[in-house]
Amino acid sequence: MILRQLQQGLAALYDAPAAHDVCDFLISDGAQAARLQGADGVPPTDEQLLLAEVEDGVEVALYVDVGVLERLGRHCPLRALDERNLADFLTALEGVSHFHYFTWSASRARAVSLLELELQAEVDKYASALRLLLEQGEGRFPAGLHERLFERSRLRPGLEPSDHSRYAEAHRCAARFCRRLEERFLKPRRAKPEGLLAELRAFYRLASVAKLRHATL
């Protein structure tokens, strides 16, 4: 499945082997995802990481709506990432990012904040799209990527104030960090892919407060 391939891509990018296969924890039925949260209907978004504390740990599931998966099956971004599939790719990648980062951190007994999860997912979306577009464009830098992901995107209406604040802060910090990556490592004739990779991997391993501080240097 494409979610497994996205997880493998993140694991390779960050040298962060998967603690668990995302497909073993996948829910694609919105009604089932809602029931697990004690709600009726379907979730308000097409992607959610579901967490529940239990006596001996945490139960985890990842909801990605079946429609997203079906559309990605018809227009696979791993072959050609474009406007037909970009929104669904970002939705799926965000879910996989949340799952992979949470389980990778949990396997190392690291606590993770919701803001940290959102910030890392924003960076993961940029880094993963960049990798695909560089591969598919034979190394040509996609100059409009930062604008497309950070300047032209909008938060979903109707969010609770605390959720809106968290998403907005993660978005702002990630935009600043990814712009700095472009300036330092992706400028034409001065590109340093090895430096970019090292910076991304170091950032992945920073704890919550340090990650936020580093993103906004």
Q: How many Cα atoms within 13 Å fall on the side-chain side of residue 29? A: 5
Encoded amino acid at 93, one letter: L
| Predicted confidence (pLDDT) at residue 189 exceeds the cutoff of 80 | no
Contact 123, 203 (CB under 8 A): yes
Task: Name the nearest CA neighbour of 25 among 44, 52, 43, 45.
Answer: 52
In this prediction, residue 118 has a pLDDT band, given cuts at 50, 70 and 90, of very high
Q: Dihedral, CA atoms, 67, 72, 75, 81, nearest 10 degrees?
A: 130
Mean pLDDT of the chain: 94
Distance of CA 150 to the CA centre of its chain: 13
Write out pLDDT tens, residues 133-150.
999 998 888 989 999 999
Distant-in-sequence, close-in-space partners of 137: CB < 8 Å, separation ≥ 6: none
Distant-in-sequence, close-in-space partners of 146: CB < 8 Å, separation ≥ 6: 126, 175, 178, 179, 182
* Alpha-helix residue ranges (DSSP H) falling in 37-113: 66-74, 86-106
Which pLDDT score is estimated for 154?
81
> Helices H, strands E: what count in the chain?
9, 3
Q: Dihedral, CA atoms, 170, 174, 177, 182, nearest 10 degrees?
A: -170
Mean pLDDT along residues 79-106: 97
Which pLDDT score is estimated for 170?
96
Write out pLDDT tens, residues 14-38.
999 998 999 999 999 999 999 999 8
For the record, the structure tokens of 216 come out as 């906004």
Which pLDDT score is estimated for 19?
87
Instruction: Please report, in angstroms and rounded to a whole number, the separation of the first and last CA atoms in the chain.
Output: 38
In this prediction, residue 187 has a pLDDT band, given cuts at 50, 70 and 90, of confident
Mean pLDDT along residues 106-135: 96
Which of 181-202 are b and which e, b meaning 16 or more Cβ less than 10 Å from the residue's Cβ?
bbeebbeeeeeeeeebbebbee
Which pLDDT score is estimated for 153?
82
Q: How many CB atoms sit inside 10 A of residue 179's CB? A: 13
In this prediction, residue 159 has a pLDDT band, given cuts at 50, 70 and 90, of confident
Q: What is the pTM of this model?
A: 0.95
Place of tokens 């400028």: 187
